[in-house]
Protein backbone atom coordinates (compact mmCIF):
# COMPACT_ATOMS: atom_id res chain seq x y z
CA UNK A 1 0.00 0.00 0.00
CA UNK A 2 1.22 3.48 -0.88
CA UNK A 3 -0.18 6.70 0.54
CA UNK A 4 0.25 10.04 -1.19
CA UNK A 5 -0.72 12.99 1.01
CA UNK A 6 -1.34 16.25 -0.86
CA UNK A 7 -2.41 19.73 0.16
CA UNK A 8 -5.86 19.93 -1.40
CA UNK A 9 -8.46 18.57 -3.78
CA UNK A 10 -6.92 20.13 -6.87
CA UNK A 11 -3.52 18.54 -6.25
CA UNK A 12 -5.21 15.20 -5.55
CA UNK A 13 -7.02 15.46 -8.88
CA UNK A 14 -3.84 16.31 -10.82
CA UNK A 15 -1.89 13.42 -9.32
CA UNK A 16 -4.72 10.99 -9.97
CA UNK A 17 -4.98 12.14 -13.59
CA UNK A 18 -1.23 11.74 -14.03
CA UNK A 19 -1.39 8.16 -12.75
CA UNK A 20 -4.27 7.24 -15.06
CA UNK A 21 -2.55 8.97 -17.99
CA UNK A 22 0.66 7.06 -17.29
CA UNK A 23 -1.30 3.80 -17.29
CA UNK A 24 -2.68 4.62 -20.75
CA UNK A 25 0.72 5.68 -22.12
CA UNK A 26 2.34 2.46 -20.92
CA UNK A 27 -0.58 0.28 -22.08
CA UNK A 28 -2.68 2.03 -24.77
CA UNK A 29 -5.34 -0.72 -24.64
CA UNK A 30 -5.79 -0.43 -20.88
CA UNK A 31 -8.99 -1.58 -19.20
CA UNK A 32 -9.97 1.13 -16.72
CA UNK A 33 -12.42 0.82 -13.84
CA UNK A 34 -14.01 4.21 -13.24
CA UNK A 35 -15.81 5.89 -10.36
CA UNK A 36 -18.40 8.65 -10.12
CA UNK A 37 -19.48 11.18 -7.50
CA UNK A 38 -17.88 14.47 -6.53
CA UNK A 39 -14.41 13.10 -5.78
CA UNK A 40 -13.17 12.10 -9.27
CA UNK A 41 -14.61 15.12 -11.13
CA UNK A 42 -11.30 17.01 -10.93
CA UNK A 43 -9.41 13.96 -12.16
CA UNK A 44 -11.66 13.74 -15.22
CA UNK A 45 -11.15 17.44 -15.90
CA UNK A 46 -7.37 17.02 -15.95
CA UNK A 47 -7.57 13.85 -18.05
CA UNK A 48 -9.62 15.74 -20.64
CA UNK A 49 -6.99 18.50 -20.67
CA UNK A 50 -4.19 15.93 -21.04
CA UNK A 51 -6.06 14.39 -23.98
CA UNK A 52 -6.70 17.75 -25.65
CA UNK A 53 -3.03 18.63 -25.23
CA UNK A 54 -2.21 15.52 -27.25
CA UNK A 55 -0.47 13.53 -24.53
CA UNK A 56 -2.87 10.54 -24.31
CA UNK A 57 -5.18 8.66 -26.66
CA UNK A 58 -8.31 6.78 -25.59
CA UNK A 59 -8.95 5.03 -28.91
CA UNK A 60 -7.96 1.59 -27.63
CA UNK A 61 -9.07 2.07 -23.99
CA UNK A 62 -12.06 0.22 -22.58
CA UNK A 63 -13.85 1.29 -19.40
CA UNK A 64 -16.08 -0.32 -16.79
CA UNK A 65 -17.92 1.84 -14.31
CA UNK A 66 -18.26 0.73 -10.70
CA UNK A 67 -21.98 1.20 -10.35
CA UNK A 68 -25.28 2.70 -11.41
CA UNK A 69 -28.45 3.65 -9.58
CA UNK A 70 -31.25 1.13 -9.96
CA UNK A 71 -34.33 2.58 -11.60
CA UNK A 72 -32.69 5.56 -13.34
CA UNK A 73 -32.56 5.52 -17.13
CA UNK A 74 -29.58 6.80 -19.12
CA UNK A 75 -31.17 10.17 -19.83
CA UNK A 76 -31.78 10.95 -16.17
CA UNK A 77 -29.37 13.72 -15.20
CA UNK A 78 -28.59 11.96 -11.92
CA UNK A 79 -27.70 8.65 -13.55
CA UNK A 80 -24.04 7.71 -13.65
CA UNK A 81 -24.36 7.07 -17.39
CA UNK A 82 -25.27 10.74 -17.80
CA UNK A 83 -22.53 11.82 -15.35
CA UNK A 84 -19.80 9.94 -17.24
CA UNK A 85 -20.81 11.22 -20.65
CA UNK A 86 -21.28 14.82 -19.57
CA UNK A 87 -18.09 15.01 -17.51
CA UNK A 88 -15.71 12.80 -19.45
CA UNK A 89 -16.62 10.59 -22.38
CA UNK A 90 -17.99 13.27 -24.72
CA UNK A 91 -14.69 15.15 -24.51
CA UNK A 92 -12.36 12.26 -25.45
CA UNK A 93 -11.96 9.87 -28.38
CA UNK A 94 -13.43 6.76 -26.80
CA UNK A 95 -16.01 4.74 -28.74
CA UNK A 96 -19.45 3.97 -27.34
CA UNK A 97 -18.68 0.26 -27.72
CA UNK A 98 -15.71 0.62 -25.36
CA UNK A 99 -17.78 2.12 -22.53
CA UNK A 100 -19.47 -0.21 -20.06
CA UNK A 101 -21.85 0.98 -17.33
CA UNK A 102 -24.36 -1.24 -15.49
CA UNK A 103 -27.90 -0.90 -16.82
CA UNK A 104 -29.99 0.60 -14.03
CA UNK A 105 -33.18 -0.24 -15.92
CA UNK A 106 -32.43 -3.93 -16.44
CA UNK A 107 -35.47 -6.13 -15.81
CA UNK A 108 -33.30 -9.03 -14.66
CA UNK A 109 -30.58 -7.66 -12.37
CA UNK A 110 -29.08 -11.10 -11.81
CA UNK A 111 -28.52 -11.63 -15.54
CA UNK A 112 -27.29 -8.05 -15.94
CA UNK A 113 -24.74 -8.67 -13.19
CA UNK A 114 -23.57 -11.95 -14.75
CA UNK A 115 -23.19 -10.29 -18.13
CA UNK A 116 -21.19 -7.42 -16.63
CA UNK A 117 -18.79 -9.87 -15.03
CA UNK A 118 -18.52 -11.80 -18.30
CA UNK A 119 -17.56 -8.63 -20.19
CA UNK A 120 -14.85 -7.81 -17.67
CA UNK A 121 -13.40 -11.32 -17.94
CA UNK A 122 -13.64 -11.24 -21.72
CA UNK A 123 -11.50 -8.08 -21.77
CA UNK A 124 -8.86 -9.76 -19.62
CA UNK A 125 -9.71 -7.99 -16.35
CA UNK A 126 -9.32 -4.43 -15.11
CA UNK A 127 -5.82 -2.96 -15.24
CA UNK A 128 -6.48 0.08 -13.03
CA UNK A 129 -9.52 0.59 -10.82
CA UNK A 130 -10.29 4.10 -9.56
CA UNK A 131 -12.24 4.29 -6.29
CA UNK A 132 -13.72 6.89 -4.02
CA UNK A 133 -14.74 6.09 -0.47
CA UNK A 134 -17.96 6.74 1.42
CA UNK A 135 -18.10 8.13 4.92
CA UNK A 136 -19.14 4.66 6.08
CA UNK A 137 -16.17 3.12 4.27
CA UNK A 138 -18.05 1.83 1.25
CA UNK A 139 -16.24 1.35 -2.06
CA UNK A 140 -18.40 1.23 -5.14
CA UNK A 141 -21.79 0.85 -3.54
CA UNK A 142 -20.62 -2.02 -1.34
CA UNK A 143 -22.12 -0.97 1.95
CA UNK A 144 -20.98 -2.23 5.39
CA UNK A 145 -21.56 -5.95 5.99
CA UNK A 146 -21.70 -6.88 2.29
CA UNK A 147 -19.71 -10.08 1.85
CA UNK A 148 -16.19 -9.72 0.46
CA UNK A 149 -16.80 -12.58 -2.00
CA UNK A 150 -19.61 -10.68 -3.77
CA UNK A 151 -19.33 -10.03 -7.50
CA UNK A 152 -21.45 -7.47 -9.39
CA UNK A 153 -24.84 -7.40 -7.67
CA UNK A 154 -27.82 -5.36 -6.51
CA UNK A 155 -27.29 -3.47 -3.27
CA UNK A 156 -29.61 -1.71 -0.83
CA UNK A 157 -28.11 1.67 -0.03
CA UNK A 158 -27.49 2.58 3.61
CA UNK A 159 -29.29 5.53 5.15
CA UNK A 160 -25.93 7.34 5.42
CA UNK A 161 -25.31 6.89 1.68
CA UNK A 162 -28.82 8.00 0.77
CA UNK A 163 -28.44 11.12 2.93
CA UNK A 164 -25.01 11.89 1.43
CA UNK A 165 -26.38 11.52 -2.11
CA UNK A 166 -29.49 13.61 -1.45
CA UNK A 167 -27.59 16.82 -2.22
CA UNK A 168 -27.66 15.83 -5.90
CA UNK A 169 -31.47 15.41 -5.99
CA UNK A 170 -34.41 17.78 -5.67
CA UNK A 171 -35.87 15.89 -2.71
CA UNK A 172 -35.17 12.90 -0.49
CA UNK A 173 -38.01 11.04 -2.22
CA UNK A 174 -36.08 11.22 -5.50
CA UNK A 175 -32.92 9.58 -4.13
CA UNK A 176 -32.59 5.95 -5.26
CA UNK A 177 -32.41 3.39 -2.49
CA UNK A 178 -30.86 0.62 -4.61
CA UNK A 179 -27.95 0.35 -7.03
CA UNK A 180 -26.06 -2.15 -9.17
CA UNK A 181 -22.43 -2.31 -8.09
CA UNK A 182 -19.26 -4.21 -8.80
CA UNK A 183 -18.67 -6.42 -5.79
CA UNK A 184 -15.68 -6.40 -3.49
CA UNK A 185 -14.31 -9.50 -5.21
CA UNK A 186 -14.60 -7.80 -8.60
CA UNK A 187 -12.74 -4.74 -7.33
CA UNK A 188 -10.02 -6.82 -5.70
CA UNK A 189 -9.34 -8.62 -8.99
CA UNK A 190 -8.11 -5.36 -10.55
CA UNK A 191 -4.36 -5.37 -11.12
CA UNK A 192 -3.95 -1.90 -9.62
CA UNK A 193 -6.26 0.16 -7.42
CA UNK A 194 -6.23 3.94 -6.96
CA UNK A 195 -8.39 5.34 -4.14
CA UNK A 196 -9.07 9.08 -3.86
CA UNK A 197 -10.33 10.93 -0.79
CA UNK A 198 -10.78 14.61 0.01
CA UNK A 199 -12.25 16.41 3.00
CA UNK A 200 -12.52 15.99 6.78
CA UNK A 201 -15.70 13.93 6.45
CA UNK A 202 -13.61 11.12 4.91
CA UNK A 203 -10.92 11.09 7.64
CA UNK A 204 -12.49 8.33 9.78
CA UNK A 205 -13.07 6.08 6.78
CA UNK A 206 -9.49 6.58 5.56
CA UNK A 207 -8.11 5.84 9.01
CA UNK A 208 -10.14 2.64 9.23
CA UNK A 209 -9.24 1.55 5.71
CA UNK A 210 -5.51 1.86 6.43
CA UNK A 211 -5.16 1.01 10.13
CA UNK A 212 -8.36 -0.80 10.98
CA UNK A 213 -9.30 -4.43 11.27
CA UNK A 214 -10.09 -6.03 7.93
CA UNK A 215 -13.82 -6.48 8.19
CA UNK A 216 -16.96 -6.21 6.03
CA UNK A 217 -18.16 -3.61 8.55
CA UNK A 218 -15.73 -1.24 6.83
CA UNK A 219 -15.55 -2.46 3.22
CA UNK A 220 -12.49 -0.38 2.23
CA UNK A 221 -10.42 -2.19 4.86
CA UNK A 222 -10.13 -5.15 2.47
CA UNK A 223 -7.79 -3.05 0.33
CA UNK A 224 -5.07 -3.82 2.87
CA UNK A 225 -4.93 -7.25 1.21
CA UNK A 226 -4.40 -5.97 -2.33
CA UNK A 227 -0.82 -6.18 -3.68
CA UNK A 228 -0.89 -2.87 -5.59
CA UNK A 229 -3.08 -0.17 -4.07
CA UNK A 230 -2.43 3.55 -3.80
CA UNK A 231 -4.33 6.12 -1.72
CA UNK A 232 -4.22 9.78 -2.74
CA UNK A 233 -5.63 11.85 0.12
CA UNK A 234 -5.61 15.54 0.87
CA UNK A 235 -4.53 16.87 4.26
CA UNK A 236 -8.05 16.95 5.61
CA UNK A 237 -8.82 13.35 4.64
CA UNK A 238 -5.42 12.31 6.06
CA UNK A 239 -5.85 14.29 9.28
CA UNK A 240 -6.20 11.19 11.49
CA UNK A 241 -3.27 9.27 9.98
CA UNK A 242 0.10 8.94 11.62
CA UNK A 243 2.15 9.30 8.46
CA UNK A 244 5.39 8.35 10.24
CA UNK A 245 4.04 4.83 10.79
CA UNK A 246 3.17 4.27 7.16
CA UNK A 247 5.88 2.36 5.35
CA UNK A 248 5.81 4.28 2.10
CA UNK A 249 4.62 7.87 2.07
CA UNK A 250 5.03 10.33 -0.79
CA UNK A 251 4.60 13.95 0.25
Q: From the candidates 100, 117, 138, 153, which is the catalytic residue?
A: 138
Signed CA dihedral, 38, 31, 157, 239: sign only? negative
Give yes or no: 136 in active site. yes
Helical spans, DSSP H, in 61-191: 80-87, 109-122, 159-165, 184-188
- Going by C-alpha positions, the residue among 3, 1, 2 that lies closest to residue 240 is 3
Give yes or no: 112 in active site. no
- C-alpha 182/C-alpha 68 separation (Å) is 10
Is 166 in a helix, a strand, or coil? Answer: helix
Q: From the candidates 65, 100, 136, 165, which is the catalytic residue?
A: 136
Q: DSSP per residue over 18-86, as a string?
A: HHHHHHHHH-TT-EEEE--SSTTHHHHHHHHHHHHTTS---TT-EEEESEEETT--TTSTTSHHHHHHH
Give yes or no: 85 in active site. no
Give yes or no: 145 in active site. no
Q: From the candidates 127, 143, 158, 164, which is the catalytic residue?
A: 143
Query: Catalytic site residues?
Result: 67, 136, 138, 143
Amino acid sequence: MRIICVDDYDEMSKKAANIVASQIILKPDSILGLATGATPLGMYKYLVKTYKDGHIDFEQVKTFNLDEYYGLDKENKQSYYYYMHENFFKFINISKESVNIPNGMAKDIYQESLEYERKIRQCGGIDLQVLGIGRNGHIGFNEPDIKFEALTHMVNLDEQTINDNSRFFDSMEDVPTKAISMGIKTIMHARKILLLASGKEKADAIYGAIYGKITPKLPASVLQLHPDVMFIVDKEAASKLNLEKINEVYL
